[in-house]
Structure 1
Amino acid sequence: MAFSLGWKTSRSQWRFLQAMSSGLPLFPWRTVGSCLDPEMKAYLEENTEVTSSGSLTPEIQLRLLTPRCKFWWERADLWPYSDPYWAIYWPGGQALSRYLLDNPDVVRGKSVLDLGSGCGAAAIAAKMSGASKILANDIDPIAGMAITLNCKLNGLNPFPILTENILNTQQGKFDVIVLGDMFYDEDLADSLHLWLENYFWTHRTRVLIGDPGRPQFSAHSIRRRLHHLEEYTLPEPTQQDNNGLTTSAVWEFHP
């Protein structure tokens, strides 16, 4: 598979860290349906597949990269946009989304920040569970478009999407912060830990983290500040696409 998950993970990690360390301005995108670039929208629709199978959340339809898509097999450098890590439904995000759907009181009537939103599944799950206000954050503007398309797939009005490095900005208070699959690199994990701790003590916000137990997460100091909430057995397709990871868990941050 030319467009392997390992390739996408390493490239997207590098891009994310480069953006964080460069200090360069990132394109802020407040998404509404009319803002979708027609050419880019058509390309994403042509080269992704709408699916709700093989994940922990069959209630949610997502436009993803699957084995039936050309770029699952095509050379990665032929993809004309930024690396589509948003086109994979990562296991931490699956667990987080499942948890929100099963425990709607966590977000019902509350404001939610989905940090590193990717395909937007956790934000969509929060909206389905009755969240009153949602901000999805991802540094990739293409992810902003993908999230908007995924909202429409699920019969939801698109919520605001901010595509800048939120760790370098001042944000207002949210009742709940959710983030999945973000602890894949030690430097990024350190930055997240510091930002989350400062935000928690400023706003007393509830923070939920989804992760399948990657070594970078399990060995990080933040693990001593987490309370285990739920663990899920990953569906077979997700296990196969993630080097045999079998479970994914949801944790609550307690600094």
Structure 2
Amino acid sequence: MDKEQFIITQTAVGRSLLVTEIRLYLASELTPLWLATEDYLGRHNVAPPYWAFAWPGSEALARYITDNPSLVRGKRVLDFAAGCGLAGIAAARAGAAFVEAAEIDPLATEAIRLNAELNGVSLSVTEGDVVGRKGGWDVIFAGDICYEQKMAGLIVPWLQQQSECSIVLLADPGRKYRPDLSEQEIGQYIVPTSLELEDTKQRQVGLYAISNRSV
């Protein structure tokens, strides 16, 4: 079974509760992937399917983009650690001139392509780590990247560096390793969540404008 077939057969077309304008291939209570155990995924050499869910950070970003299209209209956009590609798709729908969605998981990159096609938009999908690349984007979006200490320690300083020439927005639902960005908060969203993924039925997601000053 190839990647496209795997995604289509293991998920169902659904919508984020916060961004109903966009359709996505998602795991749900009715799909095989939702019911698959970690042992099953390991035996089939499948990484945890983060791409099969609309995570709170990406939902908040996509809502903000959809409600504020001038932020990306005519701009070059990076959807970093894009997951299912929700924020990137929102940017493309809002009139971005170019959208790059970056992910390290090959199944995620295929899911992003399928989700973009589902919504009639075109994205440039990059499979691999873009941390370390310099510039090239007008706007960068990053959601839910602070749940691991090592990841946050590498990515947040890189985003701060990028802010010298790009608008950088980080959305975070209170993950453990998010640095203190309270002075850079530009908004909040209450995002409905599933108890299968989170320990609460909703998350308060902060939206932060990253700068290259110390945080």
Match of 1:94 among 59, 62, 65: 59
Comparing both structures, which one devotes a greater share of its residues to strand? 2
Residue identity over aligned pairs, in percent, reads 34
Q: AA paired with 2:120? A: G
Q: How does 1:53-132 map to 2 (within 5 A)?
A: 53=16, 55-79=17-41, 80=44, 81-132=46-97
TM-aligned CA deviation for residue 173 of structure 1: 1.9
- List gaps (5 residues or longer) in structure 1: 1-37
User: What is aligned with 1:232?
Assistant: 189
TM-aligned CA deviation for residue 106 of structure 1: 0.6
Q: Aligned to 1:105, what secondary structure does the other structure show?
A: helix
Give yes or no for contact 1:239–1:246 (8 Å, CA) kept in 2: no
User: What is aligned with 1:137?
Assistant: 102
Q: Aligned to 1:216, what secondary structure does the other structure show?
A: coil
TM-aligned CA deviation for residue 166 of structure 1: 1.1
The answer to whether residue 170 in structure 2 is matched with residue 209 in structure 1 is yes
Q: 1:162 & 1:71 partners in 2: Cα distance? A: 24
Give yes or no for contact 1:117–1:137 (8 Å, CA) kept in 2: yes
Q: 1:171 & 1:162 partners in 2: Cα distance? A: 15
Q: AA paired with 1:242? A: E
TM-aligned CA deviation for residue 198 of structure 1: 2.1
Q: 1:171 & 1:143 partners in 2: Cα distance? A: 23
Give yes or no for contact 1:60–1:154 (8 Å, CA) kept in 2: yes
Q: TM-score, normalised by structure 2?
A: 0.90
Runs of 4+ more than 3 Å apart:
none
The answer to whether residue 198 in structure 2 is matched with residue 242 in structure 1 is yes
The answer to whether residue 12 in structure 2 is matched with residue 41 in structure 1 is no
- List gaps (5 residues or longer) in structure 2: none
RCO higher in 1 or 2 (8 Å CA, sep ≥ 6)? 1
How many pairs align? 207
Give yes or no for contact 1:232–1:248 (8 Å, CA) kept in 2: yes
